[in-house]
Structures are given as structure tokens and as C-alpha cells.
Amino acid sequence: MAIWEKNKALQEILYAELPRLAREEGMEHEQVFACLDSGTMVLLGNPAHPKLQALLIGQPARIKVNANLGTSPLNNCPQTEMEKVAAALAAGTDTIMDLSTAGDLDAIRKQMLEHCPLPVGTVPIYAVGKILIDSERDIAEMKEDELFDEIDKQCRQGVDFITVHCGLSKRGAELALEEKRVLGIVSRGGSMLARWMVENNKENPLLSDFDRLLDIVKPYNVTLSLGDGLRPGAGADAGDAAQWEEVINLGQLAKYAHKRGVQCMIEGPGHMPLNLVQGQIEGIKRLTNHAPLYVLGPLVCDTTPGYDHISGAIGGAIAVSSGADFLCYLTPAEHLTLPDLEDVRAGVMASRVAAQAGEIALGRARALKKEAAMNRARKNLDWENMAKVAIDPELLQKRRQTHKNEEVCAMCGKFCSVKMLRDVKVKKK
């Protein structure tokens, strides 16, 4: 029985959107079916999300980019967050995650879903944690039902994918805390669950009661983004026992969920030196049966606040060339503050650069076609066609503004190497 036969919401979206999706991804219908059924690709789309364009993620679909948005206690303006949705869409993001932790979270989430025709993701534990943290109570007081009820509500609201740290076992949390990691647990959801487990001496309910979670999300085809609560928060922590303990769990959970008709992605690291990226990506892919891998960075430097979009693009490009499917952006604001509109644009563009670089390395036809078109245009000093295939046509035009009537660029002017050799013919020997 194929996965869409077990999941009627998925079937509904799939049958309705398949022709467009297959065309956009340059895939045969049969191949889309095969990849979804093997779990190496997911179709993001909750029928309850109005005006949604469903999206395929996973090899060999185009590499996708996510933008994290949302309010924070020190930066709480829902209107600004809606402007950021527009900025992220304009910059070419493929999905948005609403990570709001301040204000009326239900209202913000509903507004994001209305304003965003692309898949929207959330981290439901933030909403549960917010109530406790706002009233200065300990996260350890969280009731299991509160978490599952919040997830249920968000599925009904139309959220397309949710980060759930199901693989974060009590054993994993203890490993991370006892091993004297340089930076312990840096995932916000992960740190909440770890505190809950250790203080209550109980297993993670998202793990021990995984079936309950599957029952909640399946009617809405909400894809589980199995969170990496123990991702390394410092390069020196990458690849430790706690991290791999969680990856093993994620692989087992993804396999089980898929059998039950629920789609899963795997969330990946995190901070790590660039020489570890390929091995980590290949290792995670292997342990998770090649489920779509959604990486945050990886961030190859810890000392680059203000430039983490670049550190993340370095790691992201290598990750894509090693098999990652989905890049979560990092903005210049990472580790410092909430991103502003300019940061959102910079973050999406940096991730798109990484995705393009990775796809070129993979020899993906669509990426190579764009490169070839750019180079033909460059050879002809054809600025109109350069703009058409450039990653940011608007920026190209803007930077050309002061010399837009020139055939050459203002860096070389009449010293243009293309012009220098245009009429040169090698003499026959």
C-alpha cells in the first residue's frame, strides 16, 4: 500500500498538484510517486492551508530554502513580521517557518498562513513553553496533553510542517549534559524538553507517545520535521555521542512514521568544521534511510557573528553537494538579534547561493543550464540576458545603474578582457 493510500490528505494534495509539481521539478509522474513512497521525498501541503502551493522536498527535486521568521520577547511587532514574509517571498524563499515566541501566537500564525502561499512550518512546543515562561513557571510543569493539544490546534489551523524533537531521548539529553559539551544543548525546543525530562525523570512524550503524534498530524498531511534537539552548538561539539544517539532515533522514527502514512524530514546540524560536513551529511542520510535532510547551516565558524549567513552558506553548499535537500537560512543577525527586513533578504539570498553552488557540484541540469546561459550572455556582453539568469536580477540592474548605457562594466571599462580578444584569430601554422 503506497503512502498516499494510507494518508488521504496527502493523496488529495498530490493528485491535485502533481502535474504542476512534476513540471516544475522536471520529473516524471512515476518518479514523484516512487520517491514519495520510498520516503526520500516529501510533499509539503496541509489541505487546511488556504491558497497553498504544495512543495516537493527531497532528491532529485530542486534544493529548497527556508526563512525563519517570527516575534521574540525583545522584538515583538507582528506587523514587521508580515513585512518580513513579503521580503522572504520576494527574495525567493521556498518555505517560511513562524518561530514567534511573543504576542498573540495564534493570531500571528493565522496571519502568516494567510499571507504565505508557500508551505509554513512551526515549532509547536514554543507556544506551550511561552505560556509557562511568560508566567515565570518552570517548563518542567508542562503537561503532556498541552503539547499534543497545541500540535492538534496548529494542524487544524493549516500549518504544513512542524518541528518536533521526537528523537531527543532522556538518554540523549543526559549524554549531552553529562559529557560536558562546550555548549550543551542550543536548540530552544530541545533545551525545553531536556529540562522537562531531567526534572521530571521521564521520557520525552513525543518519543514515548509517538503514535499519538502520528494520529494527530496524519489527517492534515502535516509533515514531521524531526528536530535535532542535540545538534552541536559549537564546532567542537560536532559528532559527539549525544548527537548520533538522536540521529539513530530519528532514523527509526522516520521509518515507522512512513509505514504509518506520515511523511518525515530530518533536521540536521548545526555548528561543525567544514571538513566534517560531508561525512556528517552522508552519515545522517544513511542512518535515516535517505529521508529529506533539512540543515541549519551547517555553520563552519563559531566566531563570525554578523557574517553567519556566509559561514552558513559555506557549510550549506558543501552539505548540498553531499546530499542535503533543504537549507534553513541563517541571517547576518544570527547569534545577535532578531533579523530585520534586510537581514531576511540577505539570509535567503545567501542560502540560494549555497543551493546553486551545491546543485552545480551535483551536476543538476537546471543549475548548469543557468550557468551556461549566464556565460553565453557574458561572452556577448549582453546585460539583459545576464540579468535574466542572475540570482538577483534587481540587484544586478541596480549596480549597473550609473553605467547602464555602457557595453562594458565599470570595473574594467575599456580594459574588458572579452573585448580585448573579440576579433583575435589564431593564425594557422
| Interaction between residue 102 and a copy of itself (CB under 8 A) | yes
Cα end-to-end distance, the chain, whole Å: 69
Residue 121 φ then ψ, to 5°:
-115, 160
Of residues 162-221, those binding a copy of itself (CB under 8 A): 174, 177-178, 182-188, 190-192, 194-195, 198-199, 201
Q: Which of 196, 274, 183, 277 is nearest to 230 (CA)?
A: 183
Q: Which residues pair with 96 in a beta bridge?
A: 67, 120
| Interaction between residue 131 and a copy of itself (CB under 8 A) | no
| Interaction between residue 11 and a copy of itself (CB under 8 A) | no
| Interaction between residue 318 and a copy of itself (CB under 8 A) | yes
Q: Are 245 and 171 in contact (CB under 8 A)?
A: yes
Of residues 369-428, those binding a copy of itself (CB under 8 A): 370-372, 374-376, 378-379, 386, 389-392, 395-396, 399-400, 402-403, 406, 408-418, 420-421, 424-427
Q: In angstroms, what is the minimal distance from the CB of 126 to a copy of itself?
A: 7
Query: H or E segment at 25?
Result: helix 8-25
> Out of 34, 131, 360, 381, which residue is the one contacting a copy of itself (CB under 8 A)?
360
Q: In angstroms, what is the minimal distance from the CB of 266 to a copy of itself?
A: 20
Distance, in Å, from the CA atom of 68 to the CA atom of 309, rounded to the nearest integer, reads: 13
Of residues 274-303, those binding a copy of itself (CB under 8 A): 274-275, 300-303
Q: In angstroms, what is the minimal distance from the CB of 173 to a copy of itself?
A: 8
| Interaction between residue 314 and a copy of itself (CB under 8 A) | yes
Long-range contacts of 22-25 (CB under 8 A, 24+ apart): 24/62, 25/56, 25/60, 25/61, 25/62
Of 11 and 337, the one with the shorter C-beta distance to a copy of itself is 337
| Interaction between residue 146 and a copy of itself (CB under 8 A) | no
| Interaction between residue 72 and a copy of itself (CB under 8 A) | yes
**DSSP per residue over 31-91, as a string?**
HHHHHHHHTSSEEE--TTSTT---EEESTTSPPEEEEEE--BTTB--HHHHHHHHHHHHHH
> Out of 156, 361, 381, 385, which residue is the one contacting a copy of itself (CB under 8 A)?
361
Of residues 232-251, those binding a copy of itself (CB under 8 A): 233-236
> Out of 30, 50, 51, 74, which residue is the one contacting a copy of itself (CB under 8 A)?
74
Distance, in Å, from the CA atom of 320 to the CA atom of 323, rounded to the nearest integer, reads: 5
Q: How many residues does the chain have?
A: 429
**DSSP per residue over 340-393, as a string?**
-HHHHHHHHHHHHHHHHHHHHHHT-HHHHHHHHHHHHHHHTT-HHHHHHHSS-H
| Interaction between residue 107 and a copy of itself (CB under 8 A) | no
Of 35 and 348, the one with the shorter C-beta distance to a copy of itself is 348
CA distances 394 to 60, 220, 387, 391, Å, are 29, 38, 8, 9
| Interaction between residue 329 and a copy of itself (CB under 8 A) | no
Of residues 18-57, those binding a copy of itself (CB under 8 A): none
| Interaction between residue 341 and a copy of itself (CB under 8 A) | no
Residue 411 CA to chain centroid, in angstroms? 36
Q: Output DSSP code: residue 166.
A: T
All three cell numbers of 170: 532522556
Of 263 and 351, the one with the shorter C-beta distance to a copy of itself is 351
Of 49 and 195, the one with the shorter C-beta distance to a copy of itself is 195
Q: In angstroms, what is the minimal distance from the CB of 339 to a copy of itself?
A: 8
> Out of 334, 344, 347, 348, which residue is the one contacting a copy of itself (CB under 8 A)?
334
| Interaction between residue 354 and a copy of itself (CB under 8 A) | yes
Residue 118 CA to chain centroid, in angstroms? 13
Residues that bind a copy of itself (rule: CB under 8 A) add up to a total of 106
Verify cis geometry, omega within 30 degrees of 0, for the bond prior to 292: no
| Interaction between residue 110 and a copy of itself (CB under 8 A) | no
